[in-house]
Structure 1
């Protein structure tokens, strides 16, 4: 009598576990370790390499401000 409910709960728990990012990360790490593959992500930075989008944005703003402030204004008539 309780068997269908247990099967339903088990199915829900397994589905939730499979969708979990933490579980997937652990499976990928184990797979890479078993097959002796190099790590997919750098140790620090969580996979980010190079400057971030915010760094590019601030560099672009600095460049635009520099060009704006050093531009010669036309003489007033």
Structure 2
């Protein structure tokens, strides 16, 4: 960022605009922009998945504990970002 800032100052000096005037205009804008950026945004995504287990010997879904004893399964994920 400093290299970018120096290149802008060099190009503006060629236009005979003093660095002092530019700094008084640019620095407050940069400070206010950074303060606005840190206001914070909260995002959350809720994902839910459910499954029903039905014993079916034609697809090999028999003889396993999940298909013989468990009829329903599910999971929920919450992804929160600040």
TM-score, normalised on structure 2? 0.27
Higher relative helix content: 1
Q: What is the TM-score of this pair, normalised by structure 1?
A: 0.28
Bigger RCO of structures 1 and 2 (CA < 8 A, at least 6 apart): 2
Which of structures 1 and 2 has the bigger CA Rg? 2
**Higher share in strand:** 2
